[in-house]
């Protein structure tokens, strides 16, 4: 079964809007696991506008499933990963001022840089995933750089799903197949929801993990967090 990792950044965004500790990010992570999530994802950013670096340190004490820390591999991120030793480190090419991740690595152009940072991250024992656009050459480049997995950037799939889901999935199936052929695991994330998730899973049955935050937390406002996690897990069952 494809694993569901819940990105809790949006819970931290809500907390930060008023100050204090409501909602409690740490409790939310524990509850997500208790309700069936198989991983917790965070993406601390330099301005700490949602998840704070201090949150990551506290989460590391309580997360019992797979802890996935996303981020641009600058000095602060690398130091955090070395300290926390998460199950997975997902490297993204985000500039500090972007609202959310909106493009993957060019694993060919940045091969030398990626080899260096992947080697550094692996000293912590973390599995390394590279955030990439659904292009076969980027998957092959990720393997050459030493990554363990790719995470396919799925916003284009989500946008194209309503118009023609068969066309929208084609580059993702090709990229995932190329990754599998060179020995990489395959993750996916960004704009996945209850409408488009099942078809993605059916089309790429060997998908290892999806990381979902925004849509899942929005759905939780209507359905409740426990029920929402179960609804997402249902979409991922074989």
Contact 5, 41 (CB under 8 A): yes
C-alpha 121/C-alpha 163 separation (Å) is 40
| Cβ pair 70, 40 in contact under 8 A | no
Q: What is the pLDDT of residue 103?
A: 81
pLDDT grade, residue 101 (50/70/90)? low
What tens digit of pLDDT does each residue of 178-205 get? 999 999 999 999 999 999 999 999 999 9
- As annotated, the active-site residues are 43, 70, 190
- Distance (Å, whole) CA 36 – CA 29: 11
Average pLDDT over residues 22-45: 98
Q: Is pLDDT above 90 for 121?
A: yes
**In the predicted model, is pLDDT for residue 99 greater than 70?**
no
* pLDDT tens figures, 200-220: 999 999 999 999 999 999 999
Mean pLDDT of 129-157: 98
SS3 (DSSP) at 235: helix
Domain boundaries, the chain: 3-236
Confidence band for 37, pLDDT divided at 50, 70 and 90: very high
The encoded tokens of residue 41 equal: 């994802």
Which letter does DSSP use for residue 123 in this model?
T
Residues 6+ apart with CB under 8 A from 108: 137, 138, 141
Mean pLDDT across 68-80: 96
Instruction: State the pTM of this model.
Output: 0.95
SS3 83: helix
H-run or E-run covering 157: helix 155-181
Confidence category of residue 234, pLDDT binned at 50, 70, 90? very high
> Among all chains, which residue has been given the structure tokens 């409408």?
195
Phi, psi of 127 (to 5 degrees): -75, 140
Q: What is the pLDDT of residue 1?
A: 87
pLDDT for 35 beyond 90: yes
Out of 3.40.50.720, 3.40.605.10, 3.40.50.300, 3.20.20.70, the CATH code matching 3-236 is 3.20.20.70
Does residue 100 carry a pLDDT above 60? no
- pLDDT tier at 80 (50, 70, 90 boundaries)? very high
């Amino acid at each position: 079964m494809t694993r569901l990792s819940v990105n809790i950044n949006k819970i931290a965004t809500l907390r930060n809007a008023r100050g204090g500790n409501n909602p409690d990010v740490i409790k939310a992570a524990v509850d997500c696991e208790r309700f069936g999530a198989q991983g917790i994802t965070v993406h601390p950013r330099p301005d700490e506008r949602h998840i704070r670096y201090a949150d990551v340190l506290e989460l590391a004490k309580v997360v019992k499933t797979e802890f996935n820390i996303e981020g641009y591999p600058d000095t602060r991120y690398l130091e955090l990963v070395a300290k926390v030793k998460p199950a997975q480190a997902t490297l993204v090419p985000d500039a500090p001022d972007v609202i959310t991740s909106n493009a993957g690595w060019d694993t060919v152009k940045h091969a030398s840089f990626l080899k260096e940072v992947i080697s550094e991250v692996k000293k912590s024992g973390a599995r390394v995933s590279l955030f990439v656009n659904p292009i076969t050459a980027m998957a092959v480049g990720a393997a050459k750089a030493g990554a363990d997995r790719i995470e396919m950037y799925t916003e284009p799939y989500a946008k194209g799903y309503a118009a023609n889901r068969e066309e929208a999935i084609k580059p993702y199936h090709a990229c995932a197949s190329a990754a599998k052929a060179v020995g990489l695991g395959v993750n996916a994330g960004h704009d996945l929801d209850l409408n488009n998730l099942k078809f993605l899973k059916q089309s790429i049955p060997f998908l290892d993990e999806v990381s979902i935050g925004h849509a899942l937390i929005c759905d939780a406002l209507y359905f409740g967090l426990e029920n929402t996690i179960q609804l997402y897990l249902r979409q991922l069952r074989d």
